[in-house]
Amino acid sequence: MAYSESLSLRVRQVLGRRRGIAEKKMFGGVGFLLHGNMCVGIWKNSLIARIDPSEYEDVLAEEYVQEFDITGRPMKGWALVEPDGLDSDTQLTEWIERSARFVATLPKK
């Protein structure tokens, strides 16, 4: 299954002309990098969000969120947000901003 083009368009709209954003096809989907670090991505119809490790367990307890695991080995620090958790533009923006705040603390690549 290809990734959701409509979700990728929505992500592009949220990211707008933010400096340091690059888009890259990966893992059968698309990823959005901030200063060379993966920030968010799209896999099928879901958003992949990079999460501050100190918030990881709390994030996984949220509705419509699960571990990002497409290989049988969950990726710590990554959450998969199901489409029902992205219905509104506000929800999507909050996830993207949450990820961008964390990724902005990482060294640029």
Domain extents for the chain? 5-76+87-103
Of 10, 44, 9, give the one whose Cα is nearest residue 28. Answer: 44
pLDDT tens-digit profile of 18-29?
Answer: 999 999 998 889
Answer positive or negative: Cα dihedral of 77, 61, 10, 13.
negative
Q: Which pLDDT score, from 0 to 100, does residue 28 have? A: 86
**Mean pLDDT over residues 71-88, rounded?**
94
7 Cβ contact list (under 8 Å, min separation 6): 42, 45, 47, 83, 86
Q: Which pLDDT score, from 0 to 100, does residue 80 have? A: 97
Residue 79 has pLDDT above 90, yes or no: yes
Distance (Å, whole) CA 33 – CA 11:
12
pLDDT tens-digit profile of 31-56?
Answer: 999 999 999 999 999 999 999 999 99
Q: Which pLDDT score, from 0 to 100, does residue 31 have? A: 97
